[in-house]
Structure 1
Amino acid sequence: MNSNPLEPVIRAAGLDGVLVSFATELSEPANRAALAFASAVGRAGIDGVEECAPSLVSVFVRFDPLHLRLETLTRRLTSLLSGQDWYDAPLPDGRRFVQVPTVYGTDLAPQLEEAAQAAGLSPEAAQQTLSDARVRVQTIGFAPGQPYLGLLPQEWDIPRQTALTKAVPEGALVVAIRQLVLFSVSSPTGWRHVGQTALKLFRPDSDTPFFLRPGDEVQFVPVSRDVLEQLRDDPDGGARIEAIR
């Protein structure tokens, strides 16, 4: 039996797209379903499908309408959906566990105390829960290579700020609504800046320009400022990477 109260929904998205949605709001099962189904669509090798990209709870499928009819694609996707319970599906192969050295608080990440207060925690407890969390890359978006990660424990269901921070630097770790975002470029944000890394997420000259991929798991391991400064010249920011088997 499907463990999610909602059934997947297929909708047309423009003239050459289809959106397969597994929920109306973020949850672990819905994100799992999106990641697993996107991988399955890729393996299915449907002629005429040109792109398949998962988001938090949906999968966007772009197709060539000159070679594949919407009705035909919808039938193929419906058949694929009926093959298993995607909310309890195994996550795709090839995922990695990445441990990223992170400075929490200080002037490098000045909103840790504010975020901790919003979560009802002391700064020390906030750092502990954030650094203990092993979070999944749920999707890549907003900026090139930029991951949304979660879900954090319930106490981190804190709102965004009512005003924007003018800019956080590349490598900034920010938090809101039970998620973390790690910034691939300097940008304004309404999320609170709680940690700072030296990791370069977007590498346009590389064969794999996005360092993290949906489904990867990440832990932000606390280090001192001195250690972080020594890692600035390493594109991986000192990250330790191992395959998830």
Structure 2
Amino acid sequence: MTEPALQTPGFPRIDSVGLDGLLVRFGETLMEPANRAALAFKAEVERECPEGVEECSTSLVSCFVRFDPLAVNPTDLTARLARLVSARDWYDAALPEGRRFLSIPTVYGTELAPQLDEAAQAAGMSAAEAIQSLSSARVRVTAIGFAPGQPYLGTLPEAWDIPRQTALTPQVPVGALVVAIRQLVLFSVTTPTGWRHVGQTAVRLFQPESDRPFLLRPGDEVQFPSVTRERFETLRGDPLGGLTQEALP
């Protein structure tokens, strides 16, 4: 994600969501600066811990703040958040501390990920070029959503601005790596999808028995190095699926 810092006219802005929510929006569509801003702003809200705030979470380009309307006046909280928004350039803010770089071994193609050739053709690449591009990309967890612990990761090079399919694939397995619109999604559950299935991992993203059931967190950086089918089969017995990680500065 190397796009320059860029503010979109009309953003940032604060919108009400129901009776107990405020949405601080930094853009209309996914851009690196807007995602950076959402992550940094969430960390700052959690650090300041304004009275009445019960929860913060981020989507691709926004920060949702849930509050107790009996504990704080929504108008007062909106004003406080507005002051925080204007206090600095969030589009150029440092990313939060505690982020990690994770490497997740991935087998590309084969019958395990049967849409690699189709996705490569849509991106104007050979299968070998697609594997090289996807396996060398270092992407950020921009958001967690849709299913427990499921990450959206981006952004990929422009060649990967390929559309979703017009029809759904009936089912992809846990650990499926899929691609569309310059993003990757790594599935934590078995599910239908309109994204093309290009890789398969042995990692478990959702571990409900753990104190931290979600393996990945927004702001983490991830790479999906290519491994052979034989190597992948050995990783099926590894509780971490061959994953390695290190702290980011």
Query: How high is the TM-score relative to the length of structure 1?
Result: 0.98
Give the aligned partner of residue 229 of structure 2.
225
Give the aligned partner of residue 46 of structure 1.
50
Q: Secondary structure at the match of 2:225?
A: strand
Cα displacement string for residues 207-242 of structure 1 (whole angstroms, at most 9, x for unaligned residues): 000000000000001001111111112231111100
1:194 aligns with 2:198: yes
Ranges of 4+ aligned residues in structure 1 off by more than 2 Å: none
The 2-side partners of 1:163 and 1:64 are apart by: 42
Q: 1:3 aligns with which of 3, 6, 10?
A: 6
Listed as ranges, the gaps of 5+ residues in structure 2 are none
Cα displacement string for residues 55-94 of structure 1 (whole angstroms, at most 9, x for unaligned residues): 0001110000000111011011011111110011000000
Give the aligned partner of residue 30 of structure 1.
34
The 2-side partners of 1:156 and 1:48 are apart by: 42
Give the aligned partner of residue 74 of structure 2.
70
Q: Secondary structure at the match of 1:222?
A: coil
Q: For this pair of structures, how many residues does the alignment match?
A: 244
Superposition CA RMSD, Å: 0.8
- In the TM superposition, what is the alpha-carbon distance from 1:3 to its structure 2 partner? 3.3
The 2-side partners of 1:205 and 1:233 are apart by: 18
Alignment of 1:60-209 (within 5 A): 60-209=64-213
Give the aligned partner of residue 59 of structure 1.
63
Identity of aligned residues (%): 66
Cα displacement string for residues 6-26 of structure 1 (whole angstroms, at most 9, x for unaligned residues): 320100000000011100111
Q: Secondary structure at the match of 1:209?
A: coil
Structure 2 residue identity aligned to 1:178: R
The 2-side partners of 1:221 and 1:59 are apart by: 31
The 2-side partners of 1:9 and 1:64 are apart by: 21
Structure 2 residue identity aligned to 1:150: G
